[in-house]
Amino acid sequence: MRFAALRAFISGAASGLGHAVAARIIAAGGQAVLFDLNAAQGAAAAAELGPRAHFCAGDVTDEASIEEALAGVRAKLGGLDLAVNCAGIGTAGRLIGRSGPMSAAFFRRMIEINLVGTALCSKAAALLMQQNSANAQGERGLIVMTASIAAFDGQIGQVAYAASKGGIVAMTLPMARELASSGIRVVTIAPGIFLTPMLAALPEAAQHSLGQQVPFPARLGRPEEYAALVEHIAENSMLNGETIRLDGALRMAPR
């Protein structure tokens, strides 16, 4: 699949990884619908990217909201080639902490946003991609999901987060197998420590300390590097049903 001129839907695109993907798609000549809960930030991000970027406010946990957004994708872009799931939260919380045990609401919210939200967006995107005419390789679309290295080596305080991201890893292969007959690929990226808005808010010394934990390069990952991997996945049709760690060889310590 040629990355240039792709029609894309990106959740969590108002900032961070999702915004970097949108910027790369627009720079390559494509179009993108930015889907995010933060209406003000999302609208500003789309305006910054230019007329081929369109913002749609919505919630990844709300099925009707997603369906409305994908209807907008069909109307604005005429179809969909690429869906990138970047919406998510990463709040830490111990199973049994100083203030007591983890609440069911905390755990459910993490699963609902990170895992269920990814599944709902992917399902709606696949339904629209099935309407595409297949290219010369029989391909109709690509779904990229975002997990985390916490899915493999989650730290203390990441029980809920690791469960949500581990679920994304677990559904990658069966989703790819199911959608193969439609010519739709599914690939997951598991980033390490990236310079997202949450980490950018930390003092520079704290950012440097975190970056030094990465074997090489000893720094925080850049959202542009995530976007570059999305581009390579789009153009390499043999990448399917796989989770790719993007972490500079980092393996997280228990705490």
Give residue 15's pLDDT.
95
- Give the CATH H-level superfamily of domain 7-246: NAD(P)-binding Rossmann-like Domain (3.40.50.720)
**Where are the domains positioned within the chain?**
7-246
pLDDT (tens place) for every residue of the chain, 255 residues total: 999 889 999 999 999 999 999 999 999 999 999 999 999 999 999 999 999 999 999 999 999 999 999 999 999 999 999 999 999 999 999 999 999 999 999 999 999 999 999 999 999 999 999 999 999 999 999 999 999 999 999 999 999 999 999 999 999 999 999 999 999 999 999 999 999 887 887 788 888 889 999 999 999 999 999 999 999 999 999 999 999 999 999 999 998
For the chain, the 3-state helix, strand and coil shares in percent, each to the nearest 5, are: 45, 20, 35
Give residue 128's pLDDT.
98
pTM: 0.96
Please choose, from the candidates 58, 50, 164, the residue with its C-alpha nearest in 3D space to the C-alpha of residue 107: 164
Active-site residues: which are they? 161
Tokens of 94: 């111990």
Residue 9 CA to residue 16 CA, distance in Å, equals: 15
